[in-house]
Amino acid sequence: MKYYSIKDVSNATGLTSYTIRYYEKIGFLPLLKRDKNGVRIFTESDIKYLECLIFFKKIGMSLDDIKEIIKEGCMIKDFKNGLNVHDIIQKRLNILDTHIK
């Protein structure tokens, strides 16, 4: 498995290193690994996950909305199960629709 540095991830996603660290701090990256020296290491999956978060922000979701999805665990679990962003959003819409009814 290939690992990436925070600088690599910043270059790949357009997020600043500060933003990536902030996302980790507020719980957006709960499964992030560190090497033996405590340095953050990212996988391809972590990068795709961040791209998903970026997409949610672009469509107008607040950080609180995104936190709620992550807190429920559905986004992380679905992402690990290979669902794409569209599938994750559709699943979330179905859950919200059920709550509204």
Q: What is the pLDDT of residues 12-58, one digit of tens each?
A: 999 999 999 999 998 888 788 999 999 999 998 889 889 888 888 88
Residue spans of the domains in the chain: they are 6-100
CATH architecture of the domain formed by 6-100: Orthogonal Bundle (1.10)
Question: pLDDT-based confidence at 84, cuts 50/70/90?
Answer: low
Q: What is the mean pLDDT of the chain?
A: 82
**What is this structure's pTM?**
0.71
pLDDT higher for 48 or 78?
A: 48
Rounded CA-CA distance 73/36 in Å is 27
Task: Spell out a b/e string for 18-57, using b for 16 or more CB atoms within 10 Å of the CB, else e.
Answer: ebbeebeeeebbeebeeeeeeebbbbeebeebbebbeebe
